[in-house]
Structure 1
Amino acid sequence: MSRPDTASGPLAAARRAVLATTRAAAALAALVVAAMVLTITYDALARYLFAAPTDWAYPLNTAAVLGATVLAVPHLYATGGHIALDLIHRGMSPRARRVADLVTGAATALLGLAIAVTAARSAVLGITLGLTGAGTFSIPLWIPDLVLAVSGALLVAAALLFPAHPPPDGAPDVAALPGAGPTTDPDVGTGTGTTTDTLVTGAGHDDEGAGR
């Protein structure tokens, strides 16, 4: 089923805005990974060919791993990119599945809120005290803290606006439901809260096939 272009209303607008933001964060995460590949390759060549390793590749890529991971999480949750283990959930009654999905969404939102608040406070402290990482190439600690804070806030928004799971087989396409984004982009996968798992096991949406 193709996606309609008629979705409107505050909820649909909020979903489109959040999804566009999480998509941008995920794209940034991909660029960070690409930069990691280049800098690690350069450092390896410099180390083994010229015996002149860099002092910045290791601390930069240590922070980049964290940044790439947390920047991608909100979009993966919103579009169902996480691995879903929902064998038990599929055996539940529809009401039990809805309850489980509510618990999943609430737990995810709580996790995002905890990350956002803790990281924001840590960023403020890092700026105030001028905290930096160890080593000759010291990264200001408020930078990774700020990335964590933004990612946590996006995760809260994704958990509140995008249900944890898609409809069961044979149910109407989620794209036809109110609030689905007016786009043909297959990233815009939303759900109706009828199957479950946690953020760790995955959010069960069909990222690539939600528009089918």
Structure 2
Amino acid sequence: MTEAEMGAQPSSTPTTDRGPLGAARRAVLATTRAAAALAALVVAAMVLTITYDALARYLFAAPTDWAYPLNTSGVLAATVLAIPHLYATGGHIALDLVHRGLSPRARRRADVVTGAATALFGLAVAVTAARSAAVGIERGLTAAGTFSIPLWVPDLVLAVSGALLVAAALLFPAHPPPDEAPEPAGAGHDDEGAAR
């Protein structure tokens, strides 16, 4: 995927999208993009901390007590922070064998069901994680071990990501599969139907 494709707006948000709905889409897309960028930074930090821990363990026989719990939370954070942006831009992996076999009308209905299920899932994650974060803050809960991460931190990441997923599911309808996407401007076919 090229940098231009990665930074491009999703097909469901044309540049001419105006009004409150367009503004909401742009705001959610900017927020999900920032969350995905944060996920990339988390992955980079995980690489550094794992490398440091491996060097400390094998060169100096002094493993850290913080690398494992931090990276366990990092995997969770990197995954859930990226999901809303992938959904909004259609960047997730789509297993659409059955979907492609449906009629256009049935596909639209399936897309509505998928969007509703995604929004419901995001809502369940957001509400559950927010409640769990509140309990963690109230009771001062921390992870087990010598390096105790406050449990409300990963819960808060889950709550924010769930809320972003709800917004993405409601504002960005399902995307067509790549072979059904409209051709870019200027692309044409020769006499035998192959793309130029």
SS of the aligned residue for 1:140 comes to coil
Aligned residue in 2 for 1:180:
none
Structure 1 residues 50-94: Cα deviation after superposition (integer angstroms, max 9, x where no partner): 011111001100111000000000000111111112122112111
What is the CA deviation profile of residues 14-54 of structure 1, one whole-angstrom value per residue up to 9, with x for unaligned ones? Answer: 11000000000000000000000000000000000001111
- Alpha-carbon distance change, 171 to 29 in structure 1, aligned in 2, over 3 angstroms: closer
Task: Tell me, yes or no, if structure 1 residue 10 matches structure 2 residue 20.
Answer: yes
Q: Separation in 2 of the partners of 1:29 and 1:171?
A: 28
1:49 aligns with 2:59: yes
Aligned: 1:152 with 2:162: yes
- What is the rounded CA distance, in whole Å, between the counterparts of 2:99 and 2:65 in structure 1? 49
The structure with the largest helix share of the pair is 2
- In structure 2, the partner of 1:125 is 135
The equivalences for 1:80-95 within 5 A come to: 80-95=90-105
The question of 1:75 aligning with 2:81 is answered no
Quickly say closer, same or farther: Cα 1:24–1:93, change in 2 above 3 A: same
| Alignment-derived partner of residue 189 in structure 2 | none
Structure 1, gaps ≥5 residues long: 175-212
**Which deviates further from its counterpart, 91-100 or 68-77?**
91-100
- Which deviates further from its counterpart, 84-93 or 38-47? 84-93
1:107 — aligned with what? 117
Query: Which ranges of 4 or more aligned residues in structure 1 deviate by more than 3 Å?
Result: 2-6, 167-174
For the residues of structure 1 that align with 2:55 and 2:127, how far apart are their CA atoms?
A: 40
Code of the aligned partner of 1:145: D
| Aligned position for 1:38 | 48
Post-superposition offset of 1:7? 2.7
Measured on the aligned residues, the alpha-carbon RMSD in Å equals: 2.1
Higher relative contact order (CA 8 A, sep 6+): 1
Per-residue deviation, 1:140: 0.2
- Distance in structure 2 (CA, Å) of the matches to 1:171 and 1:56: 46
Name the counterpart of 1:23.
Answer: 33
| Deviation of the 1:6 alpha carbon | 3.5
CA distance in 2, matches of 1:23, 1:173: 25
Letter of the structure 1 residue corresponding to residue 94 of structure 2: A
In the alignment of these two chains, the number of paired residues is 174
* TM-score of the aligned structures, taking structure 1 as reference length: 0.77
TM-score normalised by the chain length of structure 2: 0.83
